[in-house]
Chain A
C-alpha cells in the first residue's frame, strides 16, 4: 500500500513536469497544426540555460538560493524564449502554406540541431551534468510517503501556471485572438488579428513554460543530460494527444495520466522500469488509433 501511494506521488510529480512541456505542444498544434517536435529540445536547452546562468553568477550569489534560484529561472526562460522565437521565425514561418510534412521534417531538423548544438558547444555536455543545490531540500513526509520539496514546488508551479494560462486564454484580448486564429485563421485576419504575432506569442508562452520545466527538472533529478529533451518531449506529446490536442485542460490531465502510467507500470508491469517507456508508447498508439481526438478534444479538430 505504501509503495502504491509513494508511486502515485511520484507519478503526480512526473505528470506535473510533463504538463508544463505538454502545454507548449498543445498550444502550437492548436494554432498552426504543427507537431513542434523540437519543443522537447527547447525544454532541454532551457535546463542548460538555467545551469549556465548559475555558473556565471559570482560566488557569493551562488550561496544564496533566494537570489540564485529566481535568476536561474530567468536565465532558463530567456534562453528558451530566444530559441523558440528564432525557430519560429526562420524555420517554421517560411513554411506556412507548404505541404504538411515539410514543417514536420523541419521540426525534426531543428530538434537534431539543438541537441547537437548543446552537445558540442556546452562545456562537458557529453556526460550528465550536476545541477546546483539551490532548491529547497528535504522531504515532505505524509504518513509513509516521502515527497521531495522540489516535487511539491514542481506540482504547485505546474498547476498554478496552467490555471493562469487557461485564464489568460479565456479572458484576455490576446487570448481571444489566439482562440480565433485556432478556430478560423482567415476570419481572424478579417478581425484585424495579426497571425504572425499570435503565433510568435504562442511559441513564447510554450517556451516560458518549458523554461520553468527545464530548471525544475534539474532541481528535481539533480542532474541533466542532452537526451532529456527527446524523451520528455515524447511523453509530453503523448500527454497532449491523450488530452486532446489544442485543449489546455486536456494536456494537463493527460500529463498526469502519463506520469502515473510511467511510475505505476515501472512498479507493477512485467519488465519493470526498463519497459515503462514502452507502455507509454503503447498508450500513445492506442489513443491515436481509437480516440485520435483525445479525451477532451472535439472530433472535428482531428485533421486529415
Chain B
C-alpha cells in the first residue's frame, strides 16, 4: 500500500524532481522578499516588517522571512550538491517551507479577517504567503520525484577528540536552538503574534532537523553520542546549565524550564517501563504523586500529616523508595498479565490512587484541599526560589531550582543510559521483542519486569519530591489519568526507548501550551489529535531509538505489504 503509493508518485514525478526543486527553492527565496500582509492588522504590523514591504537587501531580512530564505537556499544546494538520500532531504526542507508559510499565512488570514490580507486589497498586494505555500508544495513534490529512499548509515569513523568536538558543537547548537525556541515571540502574552512566531519557528526547526536526519547526520550523531555517552551527558548537562546565561535567563522561563525538566525526568522513567521493557503503563503519574505526597508530608507544611520535618535529601530518598515499593506492587501482576490487559491493570491502579487521594485516604493527602505551603528548598541559606548573584552576574529567580532539576534530569538520563546498555537493559529489550523467547533464553522475565516498574517508579517518586517543593502545593489534581496520558504521549512523540526523544517530547508537550495561550481552550483536543496522527504517520517518534526503528515503522524494511487484519499470536496458534 504505502510502497505502491510512493512508487506510483515517483514514476509520475520522476522527471520533474529537479526542476520542481529548483523552482520551489527560487520561489521560497522570492516569498521571503515579498510583502506578506496588505494592511496593518489591528494588533499592529505583522512582525519582521512583512506588512507591505518588499525587501531590497536580501540578507537583512529577519524572523520567518530569514528562515524561508535559508530554507530556499538549502533547497537549491540540495538540488545540486551530491548528498545521500537527496529526495528525503528535499522533502523535509519542503515541509519546512510549507509549514512556515502556512502558519504565517493562516494567522494573517485569521487576524486580518479574510483572504484579502494575504492577496490583494485596496490596491495593495502581498503574495508572500501564497508564493511560500506554492514553493513548499513544489519542493515536497520534488522530494517524491527525486525518490524518498531509506536513510543511509554513515560509515564515517572519527577519532575521539574529533568526536568530542562534533558532539560539543552539536549540543551547543541544540542549546542555541532551545534558547531561541523559548524566547521567540517573547514571554507569554506580551506579543500578540507570539503564537504565530513560535509555530513558524517550530516549522523551520522541524524542516531543518528532518533534513539533517534525512541526510543521515542525526543517526550518525546519535551513534556517536552512544559511543561516548558519559561525555555526551556531561556536555548536555553543561549546555543545560548555561541556559540561564542566554536570552532565556529570566524568572518566567526558568520556571517553565524547571517544570519541563521535572516532567522530562518522569518521562525518562516512564521510558524505561514503556520504551525498554515494552510494558504500557497508563497510571504512571501516580508514582510521581506518591513521591510528591511523601515529600509534602515530611516537609513541615502546616497540613502535613506526620509531625516530622525531614531534610529534603532524606525525604526525597524516602519518596523514591515508597514510590518504588508501590511500583513493584503495581508491577507484580505482570507475572500473569500481558500486553493491553496489563495496561488496563496499571490504569486501574492509577485510578485507585486518584480516587483514594481525592478522598484523603489515611489523612495524608488532604483531599481536594491539597497540601499547600510546602516550603521552598534552601541550601546554605539560599532559598531556591530567590534570584542569586555570583560576582557581577545576577541570575534570575528560580535558577537554583532549574539547576537542581537539570542535575536530576542528567542523573535520570545517566541511569537510563547505563541500564539500557547493561545486561538488565538487554533483558528488557529481549522481553519487549519476544517474551517467550526471552524466557527460553534463561531471562527471569518476571523479576525483570517488576524491576522495570520499580526503577521507573523510583525515578517518578524522586521527580515528584522535587515537584512538591518547586510548586509548593501537592494536590491529587496534578496526578490524574490525563497526566499519565500526557507523559506517555511525551515518550511516544519523542520516540520510545530514546533518551533525547523523551526530553524533546516532554519539552514540546509542556512548552507548546505556554506558547499557545491563544489555543489554551484547544490544548487537549490538539493533543488527542496529535496522538492519533503520530501513531498513524510516525509511530517511531521524532527521534527514534535506533534499535527500535525497524520494529515500529516499516519504511526501512523492504518487502511486500500484506493486508492482514492482524498478525501475531492468533495466527501462530492456529
A288 pairs with B351, CB closer than 8 A = no
Q: With A234-B351, A292-B336 given, is the CB distance from A112 to B569 under 8 Å?
A: no
A96 pairs with B551, CB closer than 8 A = no
Residues of A within 8 A of B521 (CB): 120
Binds B, one of A158-166, A216-224, A247-255, A273-281: A273-281
Chain B 524-557 interface residues, beta-carbon cutoff 8 Å to A:
524-525, 527-532, 535-536, 539, 551-552
Residues of A within 8 A of B536 (CB): 91, 94-95, 106
Q: Distance (Å) between the CB of A270 and the closest chain B CB?
A: 11
Main DSSP-derived SS at the A contact region: helix
Q: Distance (Å) between the CB of A272 and the closest chain B CB?
A: 10
A292 pairs with B337, CB closer than 8 A = yes
Q: Considering the chains assembled together, what is the distance between the CA atoms of A198 and B212 in angstroms?
A: 44
Q: With A101-B280, A105-B492, A303-B339 given, is the CB distance from A275 to B528 under 8 Å?
A: no
B569 pairs with A303, CB closer than 8 A = yes
B337 pairs with A96, CB closer than 8 A = no
Q: With A120-B521, A277-B355, A289-B333 given, is the CB distance from A33 to B566 under 8 Å?
A: yes
Per-residue CB proximity of A94-133 to B under 8 Å, as 1/0?
1111111111111011111111110010000000000000
Q: Distance (Å) between the CB of A82 and the closest chain B CB?
A: 17
Residues of A within 8 A of B337 (CB): 288-289, 292
Q: Is B393 interfacial (CB-CB < 8 Å)?
A: no
A113 pairs with B569, CB closer than 8 A = no
Chain A residue at minimum C-beta to C-beta distance from B343: A104
Q: With A99-B551, A186-B564, A303-B339 given, is the CB distance from A275 to B535 under 8 Å?
A: no
Residues of B within 8 A of A199 (CB): 565
A110 pairs with B532, CB closer than 8 A = yes
Q: Distance (Å) between the CB of B6 and the closest chain A CB?
A: 15
Q: Considering the chains assembled together, what is the distance between the CA atoms of A110 and B532 in angstroms?
A: 7
A285 pairs with B565, CB closer than 8 A = no
Q: Is A282 interfacial (CB-CB < 8 Å)?
A: yes
Chain B 146-199 interface residues, beta-carbon cutoff 8 Å to A:
none
B488 pairs with A105, CB closer than 8 A = yes
> Which listed residue, A94, A275, A303, touches B355 by the CB 8 Å rule?
A275
Q: Considering the chains assembled together, what is the distance between the CA atoms of A278 and B566 in angstroms?
A: 34
Q: Is A241 interfacial (CB-CB < 8 Å)?
A: yes
Q: Considering the chains assembled together, what is the distance between the CA atoms of A94 and B532 in angstroms?
A: 11
Q: Considering the chains assembled together, what is the distance between the CA atoms of A113 and B356 in angstroms?
A: 27
A304 pairs with B340, CB closer than 8 A = no
By the criterion of a CB under 8 Å from any partner CB, how many residues of chain B are at the interface? 55
Q: Distance (Å) between the CB of A237 and the closest chain B CB?
A: 7
B566 pairs with A96, CB closer than 8 A = yes
Per-residue CB proximity of B330-372 to A under 8 Å, as 1/0?
0001001111110111011101100110010000000000000
Q: Distance (Å) between the CB of B101 and the closest chain A CB?
A: 26
Q: Is B121 interfacial (CB-CB < 8 Å)?
A: no
Chain A residue at minimum C-beta to C-beta distance from B539: A102
Q: Considering the chains assembled together, what is the distance between the CA atoms of A123 and B418 in angstroms?
A: 52
Q: Is A60 interfacial (CB-CB < 8 Å)?
A: no
B567 pairs with A97, CB closer than 8 A = yes
Q: Is A70 interfacial (CB-CB < 8 Å)?
A: no
Main DSSP-derived SS at the B contact region: helix
Q: Distance (Å) between the CB of A95 and the closest chain B CB?
A: 6
Q: Is B223 interfacial (CB-CB < 8 Å)?
A: no
* Max count, chain A CB within 10 A of own CB: residue among B337, B344, B552: B344
Residues of A within 8 A of B568 (CB): 100, 304
Residues of A within 8 A of B574 (CB): 184
Chain A 66-114 interface residues, beta-carbon cutoff 8 Å to B:
91, 94-106, 108-114
Q: With A185-B564, A303-B339 given, is the CB distance from A285 to B348 under 8 Å?
A: yes
Chain B residue at minimum C-beta to C-beta distance from A87: B532
A95 pairs with B570, CB closer than 8 A = no
Q: Is B562 interfacial (CB-CB < 8 Å)?
A: yes
Residues of A within 8 A of B351 (CB): 234, 277-278, 281
B570 pairs with A285, CB closer than 8 A = no
Q: Considering the chains assembled together, what is the distance between the CA atoms of A230 and B536 in angstroms?
A: 23
Q: Considering the chains assembled together, what is the distance between the CA atoms of A254 and B264 in angstroms?
A: 40
B280 pairs with A109, CB closer than 8 A = no
Q: Considering the chains assembled together, what is the distance between the CA atoms of A303 and B341 in angstroms?
A: 9
Chain B 194-213 interface residues, beta-carbon cutoff 8 Å to A:
none
Residues of A within 8 A of B565 (CB): 32, 96-97, 181, 185-186, 189, 195, 199
Q: Considering the chains assembled together, what is the distance between the CA atoms of A96 and B348 in angstroms?
A: 27
> Which listed residue, B338, B524, B571, touches A116 by the CB 8 Å rule?
B524
Q: Distance (Å) between the CB of A164 and the closest chain B CB?
A: 26
Q: Considering the chains assembled together, what is the distance between the CA atoms of A284 and B347 in angstroms?
A: 10
A116 pairs with B525, CB closer than 8 A = yes
Q: Distance (Å) between the CB of A246 and the closest chain B CB?
A: 12
Q: Is B237 interfacial (CB-CB < 8 Å)?
A: no
Q: Distance (Å) between the CB of A275 and the closest chain B CB?
A: 7
Q: Distance (Å) between the CB of A248 and the closest chain B CB?
A: 20
Q: Is B522 interfacial (CB-CB < 8 Å)?
A: yes
Q: With A100-B339, A117-B525 given, is the CB distance from A109 to B532 under 8 Å?
A: yes
Residues of B within 8 A of A285 (CB): 333, 345, 348-349
B530 pairs with A120, CB closer than 8 A = no
Q: Distance (Å) between the CB of A57 and the closest chain B CB?
A: 29
Chain B residue at minimum C-beta to C-beta distance from A31: B565
Residues of A within 8 A of B41 (CB): none
Q: Considering the chains assembled together, what is the distance between the CA atoms of A96 and B349 in angstroms?
A: 29
Q: With A288-B337, A288-B345, A289-B333 given, is the CB distance from A105 to B566 under 8 Å?
A: no
Q: Considering the chains assembled together, what is the distance between the CA atoms of A274 and B352 in angstroms?
A: 11
Per-residue CB proximity of A25-57 to B under 8 Å, as 1/0?
000000011010000000000000000000000
Per-residue CB proximity of B468-509 to A under 8 Å, as 1/0?
000000000000011001001000100000000000000000
Q: Is B573 interfacial (CB-CB < 8 Å)?
A: yes
Chain A 226-280 interface residues, beta-carbon cutoff 8 Å to B:
230, 234, 237, 241, 271, 274-275, 277-278
Residues of B within 8 A of A186 (CB): 564-565, 571
6 pairs of A and B residues whose beta carbons are closest in the complex: A109-B531, A113-B528, A112-B528, A116-B525, A185-B565, A281-B348
5 A-B pairs with C-beta separation under 8 A: A97-B563, A117-B525, A284-B344, A285-B333, A285-B345
What residues make up the interface of B, taking CB atoms closer than 8 Å to A?
Answer: 278, 280, 282, 333, 336-341, 343-345, 347-349, 351-352, 355-356, 359, 435-436, 481-482, 485, 488, 492, 521-522, 524-525, 527-532, 535-536, 539, 551-552, 562-571, 573-574
What residues make up the interface of A, taking CB atoms closer than 8 Å to B?
Answer: 32-33, 35, 91, 94-106, 108-117, 120, 181, 184-186, 189, 195, 199, 230, 234, 237, 241, 271, 274-275, 277-278, 281-282, 284-285, 288-290, 292, 300, 302-304
Given contacts A100-B340, A101-B278, A285-B345, 19 further A-B contacts (CB under 8 A): A35-B340, A35-B344, A96-B563, A100-B568, A109-B535, A115-B528, A184-B570, A184-B574, A186-B564, A186-B571, A195-B565, A275-B356, A278-B356, A281-B355, A282-B352, A284-B344, A289-B333, A289-B336, A292-B337
